[in-house]
Every structure is written in C-alpha cells, then in structure tokens.
Structure 1
Amino acid sequence: MTDTQPQHPSHLSVRRSTVDGVRVVALHGELDHAARAELGDVLHPPGAESPRTVADLAGVTFMDSSGINILIAAHRAAAESEGWLRITGARPSVLRVLQLVGLDQVIPCFDTLPQALEN
C-alpha cells in the first residue's frame, strides 16, 4: 500500500490497496484542479496490474469539473485496458455532482466497497 499525505488539509491524499485482484484507490480531501498534479495517473490502470479499479470517494469533501475530468480519463483508460472503473462511498455532495453531469450513468456508483467489489 502506498500513501501520499497532503501538504494542506484540503489537498488530496491517496491510499492504494488491492482486494481480490481489484485495485482500490481511496481518496481523501478535495478532488479539484490542484489535485490533478497530486493524483497524476494513480487511477489509470498500470500495465502489469489489474485494469479493474474502485475509486473510494468516501474521504472526498469537494469535487469540481477537474475531478470529473480525472474520473472520465480513468474510466477511458480502464476501458482501453479491457477493465473497468467503479466509484464507491461518495458523499451526498460529491454524488450530486456526479449525478448532475450524468457520470453516475457512465461509471457505476456503489454505496459500499463490498458492493463495488462483488458486482
């Protein structure tokens, strides 16, 4: 597991793990323009690892259009690798953003990590 700690409380930190061959990327903080540099390609499937990824957004307190673009790019990269991206644990305010732009219709969203892993 790899962690990145935020420089400021509002910045993004990332915790990565693997559960039953699925990459789980837990994000904490704000998923915005500033997070793009911090997040990099962490949601994109690496060549040697599983192209199946669950983005755990339970710790995300804010998301803007930059966060949406990050998730879209990760979804496309997973699909190109014959895998998938799923979202779990989004807080109501973050889930509302996903719903407003219709991203919840493109990337499956689940309430809990076990649900995201079993479907």
Structure 2
Amino acid sequence: MSNIQKEDQPNRFSVEPEVVDGVLIVTVHGEIDHNVKDTLGQALASEDGITPPLRIVADLSGVTFMDSSGINVFLTAHLRVSQAQGWLRIAGAQESVLRVLQMVGIDTVIACHPTVEHALSA
C-alpha cells in the first residue's frame, strides 16, 4: 500500500490504494478538485502502475469537498472498468459530497454505498 499526497498541499489531499481480495480500494482524504484530479485518476487507474483494475471501491469517507473535476475522474474510471466488464463503487461519501453526486446524477450511474463493507458485498 502506498500513500500519495500532493506535495504542495500535504494536509489537503491524500489517496491510499490497497488491493483486498482482488478489489482495488482507494481511500481518499481531503478535497477533490482540479489540483488533485490527475493524482486521483492515476490511483483509480492502477494500484501497481501497470495492470488496470476491474473492480474498484472508492472510499470517500474522508473527502470533505468535491468539484466537477472529481466527478469527471470517477466517470472516466467508471467507463473504463465498465467496458472491461468490471465495476466502480463509491463508499462512505459524506453528506455534502453525496449531495453533489446525487445532484448531477452520478449515483444513478455509479453505485453509492454507506460503507466499504457494503460496497464489497453488493
């Protein structure tokens, strides 16, 4: 497991990818905006930097803010894994983040679950 932090914003954003039973779990903390979209996209693209994952759970329980950049990153990851017969699930989104996901309809495209455990067992 590795911890990736934006060097210019070490306390604002971190992402920790971990593979559990063949599922890439990406735990995100802080704010998701245009400054961190590439880092988040890379974490969702591959845990080892080589093999694209087919099953991903994005744990957003530590995310306090997300703008359209984050939505685009998740949609891109969803399309990629769906085309390969995989899935992306969002877990633990705080109310403010979940509200954004619902306002733009992402929750109708990407399954949102209250916890990582729920997402893994769905």
Same fold per TM (> 0.5)?
yes
The aligned residue for residue 25 of structure 1 is 26
The yes-or-no answer on 1:108 pairing with 2:111 is yes
By how many angstroms is 1:48 displaced? 3.3
By how many angstroms is 1:6 displaced? 3.7
What whole-Å deviation, never above 9, does each CA across 1:12-50 have from its counterpart, x for those lacking one? 211011122111000111111101132242212576354
Task: Give distance in 2, aligned partners of 1:44 and 1:56.
Answer: 15
RMSD: 1.6
The runs of at least 4 aligned residues of structure 1 exceeding 4 Å deviation read none
What whole-Å deviation, never above 9, does each CA across 1:77-109 have from its counterpart, x for those lacking one? 111221000000000000000000000010000
User: Structure 2: 5+ residue runs without aligned partners?
Assistant: none
Task: Give distance in 1, aligned partners of 2:98 and 2:71.
Answer: 11
The count of aligned residue pairs is 118
- Contact in 2 for aligned 1:44/1:78 (Cα 8 Å): no
Task: Give distance in 2, aligned partners of 1:5 and 1:36.
Answer: 12
User: Structure 1: 5+ residue runs without aligned partners?
Assistant: none
Percent of aligned pairs sharing the same letter: 49
The aligned residue for residue 4 of structure 1 is 4
